[in-house]
Structure 1
Amino acid sequence: MSEDAPGPTPGFLVWRLANKWRAAVDRALAPLGLTHAQYPLISSLYGMRYDGERPSQRQLADHTGMEALYVSKLARALESAGLIARTRDPRDPRAVQLALTEEGEAVARRAVAVVRELVDRSMEPLGGLDSSRARAFTDELTALLDVPLAPLPPNDGTTQGRTP
């Protein structure tokens, strides 16, 4: 918390909400053998297949906002679990394309339904997912995500003694 304002800062609340969400998704997806970190890959591949896309790891990293190296690590784990297939892109031998396996598609379908239910329950305090408050909240989150955040230089005096 900041010394400048009483109560928690917006950054602290976002951090707490992100941790609460991660824990809830981890618990909800555990019976399917998935983690919160794996869900964006599985659900994105599930959605992209409708457009006939078979994205590269780099494209999936850009789509999810995750680091490419982390996507690669998660993709290898999902491949070992039999949920996705990783193949070389015939147009670019350096690129690896990703696609759900048949089992991966079945797991993704169930995972998407589980997380949708979790989203619905989490939006109830705002009047439900289709409420004007939930839409405004989504717009505010989108605005915050659109702001590029470059790290501050270390030891510049502005970051010492503060929490997010």
Structure 2
Amino acid sequence: MKWRVAVDRALAPRGLTHAQYVMLASLYGLERDGRVPSQRELADHTGLEALYVSKLARSLDADGLMQRTRDAKDTRTMRLELTANGRETIEPAIAEVAALLDKLLAPLGGRRGARTKSFVRDLTELLDTPL
């Protein structure tokens, strides 16, 4: 929660919330890999609920940050793409969040530090353990 609040505060001047950032930054990364994900694929990628992704996508589409289009082969599927405005908004936001992450992880040696890598490995193992 502390991280989400910090991201919300850092991105508020850009008019973005943590959830909107997660959606746009994830979409940005997937597009850089040459993908045009569906809402479902983006939900799976981000870990957000599909219904929440659908609601956010409609809002971000209305704000001109992303475009939702029906898949030509399966009209039930909605494909997502950043608009030029979305790219202009998310690129500096990604840099801001990276700087915030560097600050948060400074006590462990920064994002690339050995202690951080060990922490991420341990945390990932815990999160991947089925309940």
Deviations 1:97-148 (A, max 9, x none): 0000000011110111111001100000112111111001111121122123
CA distance in structure 1 between the aligned counterparts of 2:15 and 2:126, rounded to whole angstroms:
32
Output the amino acid matched with 2:107.
P
Tell me: higher relative CO, structure 1 or 2? Use CA pairs within 8 A at least 6 residues apart. Answer: 1
How many residues in Structure 1 have an aligned counterpart in Structure 2? 131
Larger fraction in helix: 2
Deviation at 1:38, TM superposition (A): 1.0
Report the TM-score, using the length of structure 1 for normalisation.
0.77
CA distance in structure 1 between the aligned counterparts of 2:90 and 2:130, rounded to whole angstroms:
31
Q: In the TM superposition, what are the counterparts of 1:9-158 in structure 2 within 5 Å?
A: 19-149=1-131
SS at match of 1:37: helix
CA distance in structure 2 between the aligned counterparts of 1:48 and 1:97, rounded to whole angstroms:
12
CA distance in structure 1 between the aligned counterparts of 2:130 and 2:44, rounded to whole angstroms:
15
CA distance in structure 2 between the aligned counterparts of 1:53 and 1:129, rounded to whole angstroms:
26
SS at match of 1:112: helix
Deviation at 1:61, TM superposition (A): 0.4
Report the TM-score, using the length of structure 2 for normalisation.
0.96
CA distance in structure 1 between the aligned counterparts of 2:107 and 2:2, rounded to whole angstroms:
15
Q: Percent identity?
A: 57
Let me know the Cα RMSD of the aligned residues. Answer: 0.9
